[in-house]
Amino acid sequence: MLHLLTLEWKKVRKNSTFRVLFVLYLILLPSLFLVGKRLPDLPDEIPSADVFYMFPTVWEYLAYAGNWLVFFFLGFLAVLSVTVEYNNKTLRQNVITGLTRTEIFKAKLSYIIALSFVATAYYFIVAIVIGFFNTETIYWVKIWQEWEMIPRYFLMCLGYTSFALLLGLLIKRTGIALFLYLSYVMFIEVVLRWAVHRNLFDHKSMHFYPMNAIEDLTPFPLLKTAKNFGGNDMKFEILLSPSEAVGTVIVYTALFLFCSYGLLRRSSL
- Looking at residue 232, its pLDDT comes to 43
Does residue 169 contact residue 260 with C-beta atoms inside 8 Å?
A: yes
- Looking at residue 169, its pLDDT comes to 94
H or E segment at 257?
Answer: helix 242-266
> In whole angstroms, how large is the CA radius of gyration of the chain?
20
- Looking at residue 228, its pLDDT comes to 44
Which among 113, 103, 119 has a CA at the least distance from the CA of 3?
Answer: 103
Predicted structure pTM score = 0.92
- Looking at residue 237, its pLDDT comes to 79
% of the chain surpassing 90 pLDDT: 60
- Residues 200-252 have pLDDT tens digits of 888 888 999 999 999 999 998 877 665 544 444 566 778 899 999 999 999 99
Dist. CA 119–CA 215, nearest whole Å: 16
- Looking at residue 231, its pLDDT comes to 45
- Residues 75-87 have pLDDT tens digits of 999 999 999 998 8
Does residue 25 contact residue 53 with C-beta atoms inside 8 Å?
A: no
At residue 125's C-alpha, the angle toward residues 123 and 126, to 5°, is 65
CB atoms within 10 A of CB 22: 20
What type of residue is 112? Answer: I
Residues of the chain with pLDDT under 50: 228-232
Beta-carbon contacts of residue 157 (< 8 Å; ≥ 6 apart): 70, 74, 115, 116, 119, 120
What type of residue is 190? Answer: V
Beta-carbon contacts of residue 171 (< 8 Å; ≥ 6 apart): 83, 177, 180
Q: Where are the beta strands (DSSP E) in the chain?
A: none
User: CA dihedral defined by 164, 169, 174, 180, rounded to 10 degrees?
Assistant: -50
